Structure 1
Amino acid sequence: MDDQNKNLILATVLSFLVIVTWFLLFPPDQQAPSTTDSDGELVQGVPGDEALDGDSATAATPASPGDPEADVAEVEAAASEAPRVAVETPSVIGSISLDGGRIDDLSLADYHETLDPESPLVRLLSPVGSDLPYYALHGWLAVSGVTADEVPGPNTRWEVAEGETLTPDSPVTLEWDNGAGLTFRKTFSIDDRYMITVAQSVENATGAPVSLRPYGLVARHGLPDTSPFFILHEGVVRMSDGELEEVDYGDLEDYGAQEGRIEVASDGWIGFTDKYWMTTLIPEPGTAFRSEARFGNGVYQTETVYPVTEVADGAAAEATTLVFAGAKEWEAIRAYEEAGVQRFVDSIDWGWFFFLTKPIFRVLHFLNGVIGNMGWAIIGLTILIKMILFPLARKSYVSMARMKELQPEMEKLKEQAGDDRQKLQQGMMELYKKNKVNPAAGCLPILLQIPIFFSLYKVIFVTIELRHAPWILWIRDLSAPDPTSILNLFGLLPFAPPEPGSILFILSLGVLPILLGISMWLQQKLNPAPPDPTQRMVFAWMPWIFMFMLGSFASGLVLYWIVNNTITFLQQYTIMRLHGSKPDVFGNIRQSFRRKTAEEKGK
């Protein structure tokens, strides 16, 4: 086998291993709904009731807020009757319940569930009583000088003190008087994106000092629908003094009393992340707090609990928490990071190759901003990547062309060496050294393509900017597979193609996967088919195997590979011509369709 064919086979094998490794490392993770029943301390809607500050003399154990099951039943019974304050911004719409002052009804104004503009908006937060309650709640824990009944709980009915509708220009203040000298207020304000500011205050007119701890929490009742791929993290995400942590829902169910607790010295945040959406509690930068993630009684919960606050008689205290509730748009999250939220961009799941996924996304985002179309931006990104790798690719193609020029001398060496393989290898090495040819030069560009491929797949899979992003004609969502199907002649026959997950879906090839197979096949035709029958068979089948394997991949990734193959073909063809080699592409194509003679079949 000549070295040029060795490089081609190596390229094919490496590419095949990329796909096989991907499916082995990231198989579908079928998660069943959780039925765990915890005996832990979790109380629906309220932080744990253990001692919160062992070093403080006033850190007595707060009173228990009651039985969790009873609390939930009570809230569910009153959920439909609770008065609400409307939330209206350019990015979110919904309401805040006056029962508990919960942020529990938010939909994203710019995002629909499907491509149909008439489909429902994506609903991020839902109240208790819905299928999967998901909400943010803020309150105070009684420490000393006050009982648990004298601080607002998860079901406390608040009154509107100021404002009518929460908008970027009009905050809303809720108020509750405990009737024993303490007046609590919550002031909600919101920007035009996804950040809500919750300023809690308490005024003490009891005649004696009291000690309280402000807290915020995000709770999810029941296991949410998650993506069935290990490549994507969904669950708890938090930053604690510069350390990022991701906890899957299944791992959170196994946490002990102390495992999910971190004391944060100055900067951090915690919440739940989905594929495209996130709800996160963010204490003001420079604030110490306890970050906690835990599970119990079917509820997944994240908390931020502040240090004990001493409130003298006649004095007041305030605590402010930010709540991010919205889409993980890179520009919005980056703006919040620049405003002081430490490493907030890392809430996007950049994956193992973050050193590649981040710059690849930034370039893709920039190109999309200039061109105005994500499909053309992917093509532009592919061209830029090929330009960057061109010096290495050129060395590879030049080496392959020069090895082809040395083919006659290699054949002579084979005849002279006969069955002496050691003599043949020594002769080959001397020939390479004399002509300054590196037979391994063709491998490096191929190896570099593997992490780039993985990184681009990650970018297309997790970034919301690719969700429902159209290209041209029938490609209306670059994050989804090509919707056309060869099984219904690309829409000409009056029946729908198989749905993803069905057995026939792998046969439901769209236009882009077919073009991918053709581009790989043409790339092979730059060289004659190898004489060895096994090699020839592998080469003949590999493009079409890839075509079927990648048929269910995102259209954006398949588009990248088609453009990459096309540019590679043009580069290799041009460089081979410049070095005296004249690839007979059409002749090689005709040869692949030529019927074998009886003599050839007998070999």
Structure 2
Amino acid sequence: MDDQSKNLILATAMSFAVILVWFLLFPPSEQAPTAPVATETSQPATPGTATSPTLAAPDAKPRAEALALTQRVAIDTPRLGGSFSLTGGRIDDIQLLNYRETIDDNSPTVTLFSPAGAAQSYYALYGWSAAAGTAAAVPGPSTQWTVESGDKLTPATPVTLRWDNGGGLIFRQILSVDENYMFTVTQTVENTTGGEVRLAPYGIIARHGMPADLKNFYILHEGVTAMTDGTLEELKYKALKDLEPDPNEGGALTQHLAVTENGWIGFTDHYWMSTLVPTPGQSFNAVAKYTPATDTFQTDVRMPVMSVAPGATVESSTMLFAGAKVWSLLRDYQNEKGIDRFVDAIDWGWFFFLTKPIFRALHVMHNLLGNMGLAIIGLTFLIKLILFPLAYKSYVSMSKMKALQPEMEKIKERTAGDSMKMQQEVMALYKREKVNPAAGCLPILLQIPIFFSLYKVIFVTIELRHAPFFGWLRDLSAPDPSSWINGFGLLPWAAPDHTSMIGIISIGILPILLGISMWLQQRLNPMPADKTQAMIFNWMPWIFMFMLGSFASGLVLYWVANNTITFVQQYLIMRSQGVKPNVFENVTAPFRRSKKSG
């Protein structure tokens, strides 16, 4: 067998091995079991400290019942619906109006925040802590606020809440929201006492119990995400449970991430995020903690202690992002509001230098073509165009090697029994004809990091969620829903779930096209004479077909498009070099060989 075939087998085998390892390490995600859910009632911050309160949790109630327990103010924006509670001023009822739980048009909209006392309660809360030496009552999680102005929170109408502590301090919260997902909460305190008071404002995001839709997928970060002066820090929920108790935090497992002047902290899910964003330039302490007794995860931003002179009023503003991780919106917030590296709230992974440009290219293609499937195909053309010089050189080298086959056969006959001399003459032939025997595998190897990066982009970015292509492919972030087991929808039963063992083999139309395209691409070259090597080549496309059948259909679409373009490229380049691949003869050769052996 010639070196070209050996290199092609090596490259294909390496691709297979890497993707197999990837498949084993990162299997299709399964929904994690829902952890026992705690809900909460809260206690005010302890006077004399400048920390945030520790939240407690009674038994859970149905969501509608928990919402009805407190007075509420409606939230109404183009992207958000819900309400916030006058108890504690909690922002605790958020619906993402542009997103549904499934691709069904009648599916419920996605719920982000739920109130204290409900299953999976998840909310934002603001207040003040009294510093050492100040014994004044301060607003906390159980404070009953009154509405001073505004009857509904909209982009055009902010709402102001007021609470008088009865001891000479008047607190206000001014809540505003934009047309997307960003709230601004401005806290003020007016001192009508005769002496100075020292107070520290804080913001909290709390969620009780593990998220019900936690993916537990190695490729995806879910949990705390923080940016502290240019450093991205990530803590999974399990990592929070492994922290050390902090006596200054009531024994809660706590990590003080940093004292920073530019940054943010919050919780990130697969597609959604809640993030506290102090005004850029405002010094704050970022804290993540977990309270085992109440099964409460919490992120805090704690601002420095502020001195409020008699007759004076001070204020502190903090932004709250609560919504979908849409790249263009995060980029705009980053650029327009100066939020440091806000687009890195999306989990770009270790290969961010590939995933970021790949996503941006997809984004541009989607804006131009209006269809994410067409954008993936367009991206495939773009990648092939970028790699064309290398591919051209590789395929020219392969063509020259084919042209040298008669001369190599003569060398083998002439040096029969002397492998060292044969190798020397073959290498001299390559050098004389300027042929690189290793060039044939480079295009295949370069596809591996691109493949993995595209997989990451398709899996983590919300722009691919529920993105349709054509026909039966209504969600490119999910596996092809068709299956040969039900005759591709012609038979009256559902296809097996792709996370089951039988589901892995019940592949659909797109994976089958992948196998066929890879098989035809192989047939540009004759099969190796060695039976073992020929068997590996024959089985490889079909193994890949079943392996990738459970992957996102957008990724399989990329692979089919890539194989098709590669086939055309290689065929035309080989013909331009005087080599005429006989694809039909190579396709039928295994069958003729089998007939002869029979």
TM-score after normalising by structure 2: 0.93
Contact 1:401 1:576 in 2 (8 A): yes
Contact 1:144 1:210 in 2 (8 A): no
Q: Is the aligned partner of 1:342 residue 2:378? A: no
1:141-192 per-position Cα deviation (integer Å, ceiling 9, x unaligned): 01145437x1112011110110000000000011111111111100100000
**1:508, distance to aligned residue in structure 2 (A):** 1.4
2:549 to 544, 551, 564: 551
Going from structure 1 to structure 2, the CA distance change for 1:308 and 1:77 (only over 3 Å counts) comes to farther
The DSSP-based 3-state class of the residue aligned with 2:131 is strand
2:259 to 260, 264, 275: 264
Equivalents in 2 of 1:468, 1:9: separation in Å? Answer: 37
Equivalents in 1 of 2:412, 2:181: separation in Å? Answer: 70
Answer with 211-220 or 253-262: which moved more: 253-262
Counterpart in 1 of 2:522? Answer: 524
Q: Which amino acid aligns with 2:203?
A: G
Going from structure 1 to structure 2, the CA distance change for 1:24 and 1:485 (only over 3 Å counts) comes to closer
Q: Which amino acid aligns with 2:320?
A: V
Q: Which amino acid aligns with 1:332?
A: L
Going from structure 1 to structure 2, the CA distance change for 1:140 and 1:507 (only over 3 Å counts) comes to same
Counterpart in 1 of 2:287? Answer: 292
**1:592, distance to aligned residue in structure 2 (A):** 2.0
Going from structure 1 to structure 2, the CA distance change for 1:77 and 1:66 (only over 3 Å counts) comes to farther
Going from structure 1 to structure 2, the CA distance change for 1:36 and 1:28 (only over 3 Å counts) comes to farther
Going from structure 1 to structure 2, the CA distance change for 1:71 and 1:588 (only over 3 Å counts) comes to closer
**1:528, distance to aligned residue in structure 2 (A):** 1.3
Q: Which amino acid aligns with 1:95?
A: S
Q: Is the aligned partner of 1:301 residue 2:301? A: no
Going from structure 1 to structure 2, the CA distance change for 1:112 and 1:64 (only over 3 Å counts) comes to closer
Equivalents in 1 of 2:554, 2:179: separation in Å? Answer: 30
Counterpart in 2 of 1:202? Answer: 189
Equivalents in 2 of 1:260, 1:421: separation in Å? Answer: 65
Equivalents in 1 of 2:54, 2:471: separation in Å? Answer: 59
Q: Which amino acid aligns with 1:212?
A: L
Contact 1:28 1:230 in 2 (8 A): no
Answer with 485-494 or 413-422: which moved more: 413-422
Equivalents in 1 of 2:218, 2:86: separation in Å? Answer: 39
Q: Which amino acid aligns with 2:385?
A: M
Answer with 252-261 or 108-117: which moved more: 252-261
1:183 to 165, 170, 175: 170
Counterpart in 1 of 2:219? Answer: 231
Number of aligned residue pairs: give it. 585
Counterpart in 2 of 1:167? Answer: 154
Equivalents in 2 of 1:46, 1:408: separation in Å? Answer: 87
Equivalents in 1 of 2:217, 2:476: separation in Å? Answer: 18
- After TM superposition, the structure 1 = structure 2 runs for residues 63-78 of structure 1, keeping only pairs within 5 Å, are 68-69=56-57
**1:79, distance to aligned residue in structure 2 (A):** 5.4
**1:318, distance to aligned residue in structure 2 (A):** 0.5
- After TM superposition, the structure 1 = structure 2 runs for residues 110-259 of structure 1, keeping only pairs within 5 Å, are 110-144=98-132, 146-147=134-135, 150-224=137-211, 225-257=213-245
Q: Which amino acid aligns with 1:12?
A: T
Equivalents in 1 of 2:238, 2:504: separation in Å? Answer: 30
- After TM superposition, the structure 1 = structure 2 runs for residues 166-565 of structure 1, keeping only pairs within 5 Å, are 166-224=153-211, 225-257=213-245, 260-296=255-291, 297=293, 298-339=295-336, 340-565=338-563
TM-score after normalising by structure 1: 0.93
The DSSP-based 3-state class of the residue aligned with 2:297 is strand
Contact 1:478 1:556 in 2 (8 A): yes
Contact 2:44 2:142 in 1 (8 A): no
Q: Which amino acid aligns with 1:221?
A: H
Q: Which amino acid aligns with 2:14?
A: L
Equivalents in 2 of 1:389, 1:458: separation in Å? Answer: 21
Going from structure 1 to structure 2, the CA distance change for 1:468 and 1:27 (only over 3 Å counts) comes to closer
Going from structure 1 to structure 2, the CA distance change for 1:542 and 1:250 (only over 3 Å counts) comes to same
Counterpart in 2 of 1:4? Answer: 4
Contact 1:165 1:172 in 2 (8 A): yes
Contact 1:281 1:321 in 2 (8 A): yes
Contact 1:282 1:323 in 2 (8 A): yes
Equivalents in 2 of 1:414, 1:260: separation in Å? Answer: 69
Going from structure 1 to structure 2, the CA distance change for 1:12 and 1:47 (only over 3 Å counts) comes to farther
**1:208, distance to aligned residue in structure 2 (A):** 1.3
Counterpart in 2 of 1:55? Answer: none
**1:326, distance to aligned residue in structure 2 (A):** 0.3
1:44-96 per-position Cα deviation (integer Å, ceiling 9, x unaligned): 767986xxxxxxxxx943699688357999x9997532010000000100100
The DSSP-based 3-state class of the residue aligned with 2:439 is coil
Counterpart in 1 of 2:80? Answer: 92
Q: Which amino acid aligns with 2:78?
A: P
Q: Which amino acid aligns with 1:189?
A: S
Equivalents in 1 of 2:384, 2:101: separation in Å? Answer: 36
1:324-379 per-position Cα deviation (integer Å, ceiling 9, x unaligned): 00000011000000020000000000011100110111111011001111110110
The DSSP-based 3-state class of the residue aligned with 1:582 is coil
Q: Which amino acid aligns with 1:432?
A: Y
Contact 1:107 1:122 in 2 (8 A): yes
Query: What is the aligned-residue RMSD (CA, Å)?
Result: 2.4
Going from structure 1 to structure 2, the CA distance change for 1:434 and 1:305 (only over 3 Å counts) comes to same
Q: Which amino acid aligns with 2:526?
A: P
Q: Which amino acid aligns with 2:587?
A: I
Equivalents in 2 of 1:398, 1:319: separation in Å? Answer: 67
1:219-253 per-position Cα deviation (integer Å, ceiling 9, x unaligned): 01001131132000000000000000111000011
Going from structure 1 to structure 2, the CA distance change for 1:222 and 1:545 (only over 3 Å counts) comes to same
Equivalents in 2 of 1:542, 1:48: separation in Å? Answer: 64
Q: Which amino acid aligns with 2:178?
A: D
Contact 1:44 1:71 in 2 (8 A): no
Answer with 194-203 or 125-134: which moved more: 125-134
Q: Which amino acid aligns with 1:226?
A: L
Q: Which amino acid aligns with 1:15?
A: S
Contact 2:43 2:55 in 1 (8 A): no
Equivalents in 2 of 1:238, 1:476: separation in Å? Answer: 34
**1:34, distance to aligned residue in structure 2 (A):** 5.7
Identity of aligned residues (%): 60
Q: Which amino acid aligns with 1:313?
A: P
1:419-459 per-position Cα deviation (integer Å, ceiling 9, x unaligned): 32222211111010010000011222222111110111111
Equivalents in 2 of 1:378, 1:218: separation in Å? Answer: 37
Answer with 494-503 or 451-460: which moved more: 494-503
1:106-151 per-position Cα deviation (integer Å, ceiling 9, x unaligned): 0101000011111100000001122100000000001145437x11
Answer with 220-229 or 112-121: which moved more: 220-229
**1:28, distance to aligned residue in structure 2 (A):** 6.3
Equivalents in 2 of 1:107, 1:590: separation in Å? Answer: 58
**1:578, distance to aligned residue in structure 2 (A):** 1.1
Contact 2:169 2:193 in 1 (8 A): yes
The DSSP-based 3-state class of the residue aligned with 1:396 is helix
Equivalents in 2 of 1:286, 1:301: separation in Å? Answer: 23
Equivalents in 2 of 1:162, 1:597: separation in Å? Answer: 88
